[in-house]
Amino acid sequence: MTSLKIAPYHQRIARHYNRKVKPRCISVGDLVLRSLEAAGKGPQCNKLSQLWEGPYMVASMIKPGTFKLKDDDRKMLPRTWNIGNLRKYYQ
């Protein structure tokens, strides 16, 4: 019963959020920064340390929102990265 009453509320909240959010556009060949927390290096960080590392080049798009990255030496990184853990790098 409660979930039936909450569902319209969740839909309204989602609609409001989706109106304000900007889509992230990352394509193959772009330079990106990756999150240290997602890379497994987050716990030893303090508030003054870097939160992002890179730049890395997007090598391929596995599916929308999932990417393979290359470093400066053109070596592929061992795993795939979600768009939520990447940020576009501007020179």
CATH code (residue 56):
2.30.30.140
Q: What is the count of structural domains for the chain?
A: 1
Structure tokens at 37: 């927390």
The answer to whether the Cα torsion of 20, 61, 70, 46 is positive or negative is positive
Report whether pLDDT(90) > 90.
yes
Residue 65 lies in a domain: yes
Q: Please state the pTM of the whole predicted model.
A: 0.73
Q: pLDDT band at 16, cuts 50/70/90?
A: very high
Q: Share the mean pLDDT of the chain.
A: 89
In the chain, DSSP assigns E strands to 31-35, 52-63, 66-70, 76-82, 86-88
Residue 77 lies in a domain: yes
Residue 54 lies in a domain: yes
Q: Residue 83 belongs to what domain range?
A: 24-88
Residue 5 lies in a domain: no
Residue 53 lies in a domain: yes
| Pick from 86, 85, 68: nearest CA to 77 | 68
Residue 29 lies in a domain: yes
Residue 12 lies in a domain: no
